[in-house]
Amino acid sequence: MSASPKPPTEHTRALLADAGRSFVADAADTDRASRGLITTHATGSIEDRGHTVWDVSRHDFVRDSVDAPDSVNPSLWHQARLNAIHGLFEVAPGLWQARGYDISNISFLAGDTGWVIIDPLTSEVCARACLDLANAELGERPVRAVIYTHSHADHFGGVRGVTTDEAVAAGDVRIIAPEHFLREAVFENVIAGPAMLRRAHYQFGPLLPAGPRQHVDCGLGKAVPMAQAGLIAPTEEITETGQELVVDGIRIVFQLTPEAEAPAEMNFFFPDRGWLCMAENCSHNMHNLLPLRGAQARDSLGWSKYINEAIELFGASAELMFASHHWPQWGRGDVDTFLRKQRDLYRWMHDQTMRFANHGLTPNEIAEQLTLPAAFTDQIHTRGYYGALVHNAKAVYQRYLGWYDGNPARLWARPPADAGQRYVELAGGADALLEHARHKFDDGDYRWVAEVVNHLVFADPENAAARDLQADALEQLGYQAESATWRNAFLMGAQELRNGTPPRRRGQGGRFISALTIDMIFDAIAVRLRSEDVAGEHVVTNWHFTDVDERWVLTLENQALHHISGRHDPDAAVTLTLTKDVLGRLLGNETTFADAAGAGEVTLDGDPAALLAIFGNLDVFESNFAIVEP
């Protein structure tokens, strides 16, 4: 039986009461979030083969009360209520958005002959439900183009819900994306996919039940749908700022913004209509400079400069700004004010972090030193509902100076379980450590409790008293957090300490294979090589992929894999002839080399046993690895 969340303590209630007195909501945002509502999904429940992927009723408790419960930061509660507004909205004549059926928005533009769709959500079923809603309410149109604003899965993963691989291959549907989109989507979702997916459970909290003491929001949107993402490769790339396309009769001017919110991203402007799409470079909260799920540290200085460039390029003509999350801004004055605040927020975090870094402060010291000025707390779109100043400052430091803070005492620190045992010994044993931590818990010093008891949990993960106290401390920190991602991370940690880590499951690595290049597929294979098991092996293999007519050499040498395109090696031990799709099914554990060869899907010329040196030594990644315990 799962342990239930505990109530907020008097310290937490007092902190949240103070936060409520200092927070003033802007009624204009409530109006903006509701403006243009046409209709809502008939049931609010979206299913995939009998599994509920999305259900708006899970968060009805958020809609029921303007006043925050005593277990939720009042500022976050307000954001959660705005994110709970859902439906199909008319943003401007010819432009609609479906919001509240995914963490992201899907936008529909009426072209000359059909729909131009911006960002088809995370999952196929949610994207299809939103397209069905638009067709039913606005009149059915064929999809003519899909624009991916950037390389994060919640902006492309649902593409097969609005079009098909066949329609794209036939040229009936254009897929437009920023330069290097495919490479960056792969790096995040394939190279680091298993680790990132597990950490995302803590950032987004999909395994937390919805409720006042559990999941209330994700800051950037209500929640993430529990469904698998897919990917269709772009047919066209935007390669420079100022590039212009006409897409089903709609003129669009693009601005590339690499390494800002995503490694590959773009804003764009509709010069004939005065619409500015800021992708995810601007949203109604402080964004992440390095998300809790993990990613490449983002360039906050470049991010600020890109927003400034958008103001210079398009600001004088922008009558409307919409984005990949949250609600639009209408009117040139409101758009201008919004963009300037967003621009200056990312610049301020960058400059002030590096100012203190150049005084010799460490990341933790800088995070404690910085306080967000009133200029950024006076409106919600620069408050930390998704990102947070504490971890954003550390991300700026990391981008310039790396993980090491310069103190050699931390250059070669002990791993957590080993350090935990030593700290417990230093404290005088488990009982002494727990007695000290309980006194600090009673004082409301939850940050310290979480830090010190963590050592005991890693030294002795079976210590129930330690797990319970650690969970209690994390829970109170979650209640206090303004950032939804912090709340989710703290509450997920508490839930797993009390109820255990979810069972491990074998990962499904083949979901993006069809969209990848052969080079990317071989890179993904190389990450799985168990190097310790192939010492002394030297194997050369040739590959011919008939569907893309490419020849490759894949070689195992010096306990690492490397590959070369455009030729075969005459001394290869084996030559394989197959399609990229078959390789994808092999990597996704849907078939074996023997079965594929028996079915005539793979032709082997040479010694098939040579393949075992490589494919017999590939690691298997499992989801749900431990995080809050060793």
| Three-state secondary structure call for residue 188 | helix
- The DSSP output letter for 187 is I
pLDDT digits (tens, 9 = 90+) for 469-492: 999 999 999 999 999 999 999 999
Q: What pLDDT is stored for residue 511 in this prediction?
A: 60
Q: Are strands 329-330 and 505-506 parallel, antiparallel or unpaired?
A: unpaired
- The answer for 413, left when phi > 0, alpha when psi is -120 to 50, beta otherwise, is beta
Quick count: other Cβ atoms within 10 Å of Cβ 553? 18
Counting Cα atoms < 13 Å in the Cβ hemisphere of 355 gives: 8
Cβ contacts of 355 within 8 Å, gap of 6 or more: none
Q: What pLDDT is stored for residue 514 in this prediction?
A: 72
CATH of region 410-505, choose from 1.25.40.880, 1.10.10.10, 3.40.50.2300, 1.10.150.130: 1.25.40.880
Confidence of residue 207 (pLDDT cuts 50, 70, 90): very high
Q: What pLDDT is stored for residue 396 in this prediction?
A: 98
Separation of alpha carbons 288 and 298, rounded Å? 8
Q: Are strands 250-256 and 174-178 parallel, antiparallel or unpaired?
A: unpaired
Separation of alpha carbons 247 and 269, rounded Å? 13
Question: For residue 269, which of 342, 321, 339 has the smallest C-alpha distance?
Answer: 321
Percent pLDDT > 70 in the chain is: 99
| Three-state secondary structure call for residue 602 | coil
Percent pLDDT > 90 in the chain is: 90
pLDDT digits (tens, 9 = 90+) for 590-600: 888 989 999 99
CATH topology of domain 35-401: Metallo-beta-lactamase; Chain A (3.60.15)
pLDDT digits (tens, 9 = 90+) for 28-38: 999 999 999 99
CB 212 within 8 A of CB 72: yes
Q: Which helix (H) or strand (E) holds 311?
A: helix 300-314
Q: What pLDDT is stored for residue 504 in this prediction?
A: 82
Torsion, Cα of 395, 397, 403, 407 (10° steps): -150
Q: Residue range 397-409: average pLDDT?
A: 97
Angle of helix 464-480 versus helix 484-499 axis, rounded to 10: 160
Q: What pLDDT is stored for residue 584 in this prediction?
A: 86
pLDDT digits (tens, 9 = 90+) for 534-548: 999 999 999 999 999
Q: Residue range 305-316: average pLDDT?
A: 98
Examine the pLDDT at 619 and tell me if it is beyond 70.
Answer: yes
Q: What pLDDT is stored for residue 1 in this prediction?
A: 52
| Residue with the larger pLDDT of the pair 31 and 624 | 31
Q: What pLDDT is stored for residue 291 in this prediction?
A: 97
Q: What pLDDT is stored for residue 576 in this prediction?
A: 97
**What are the sequence ranges of the domains in the chain?**
35-401, 410-505, 513-615
Alpha carbon of residue 521 to chain centroid: 22
Examine the pLDDT at 187 and tell me if it is beyond 80.
Answer: no
Counting Cα atoms < 13 Å in the Cβ hemisphere of 226 gives: 15
Angle of helix 464-480 versus helix 430-442 axis, rounded to 10: 30
Q: Residue range 47-71: average pLDDT?
A: 96
pLDDT digits (tens, 9 = 90+) for 413-444: 999 999 999 999 999 999 999 999 999 999 99
Examine the pLDDT at 148 and tell me if it is beyond 90.
Answer: yes
Examine the pLDDT at 509 and tell me if it is beyond 60.
Answer: no
Identity of the residue numbered 183: R
In the numeric block, the tokens 């010190």 are attached to 452
Q: What pLDDT is stored for residue 507 in this prediction?
A: 59
Separation of alpha carbons 386 and 359, rounded Å? 29
Structure tokens at 114: 């059909």
Q: What pLDDT is stored for residue 513 in this prediction?
A: 72
Separation of alpha carbons 532 and 510, rounded Å? 25
Question: What's the chain's average pLDDT?
Answer: 96
Q: What pLDDT is stored for residue 226 in this prediction?
A: 85
Examine the pLDDT at 79 and tell me if it is beyond 60.
Answer: yes
pLDDT digits (tens, 9 = 90+) for 82-115: 999 999 999 999 999 999 999 999 999 999 999 9
Examine the pLDDT at 387 and tell me if it is beyond 60.
Answer: yes
In the numeric block, the tokens 């401390």 are attached to 473
Separation of alpha carbons 333 and 114, rounded Å? 32
CATH architecture of 513-615: 2-Layer Sandwich (3.30)
- Count Cβ atoms within 10 A of the Cβ of residue 193 and give its class: 0-12 exposed, 13-18 middle, 19 or more buried: buried
| Three-state secondary structure call for residue 317 | helix
Per-residue b or e along 283-294, where b marks 16 or more CB atoms closer than 10 Å to that residue's CB:
bbbbbbbbbbbe
Q: In what order do the strands lie in the sheet with 250-256?
A: 244-247, 250-256, 266-270, 275-277, 320-322, 329-330
Separation of alpha carbons 607 and 596, rounded Å? 16
Separation of alpha carbons 173 and 115, rounded Å? 10
Separation of alpha carbons 152 and 188, rounded Å? 8
Examine the pLDDT at 508 and tell me if it is beyond 70.
Answer: no
pLDDT digits (tens, 9 = 90+) for 272-284: 999 999 999 999 9
| Fold match, 410-505 / 513-615 | no
Examine the pLDDT at 496 and tell me if it is beyond 90.
Answer: yes
Separation of alpha carbons 393 and 348, rounded Å? 10
Tell me, yes or no, if the pTM score tops 0.85.
Answer: yes
Examine the pLDDT at 622 and tell me if it is beyond 80.
Answer: yes
What's the CA angle centered on 414, arms 529 and 618, to 5 degrees? 10
Examine the pLDDT at 506 and tell me if it is beyond 80.
Answer: no
Cβ contacts of 209 within 8 Å, gap of 6 or more: 215
pLDDT digits (tens, 9 = 90+) for 230-264: 999 999 999 999 999 999 999 999 999 999 999 99
Separation of alpha carbons 280 and 566, rounded Å? 38
Angle of helix 416-427 versus helix 446-459 axis, rounded to 10: 110
pLDDT digits (tens, 9 = 90+) for 439-465: 999 999 999 999 999 999 999 999 999
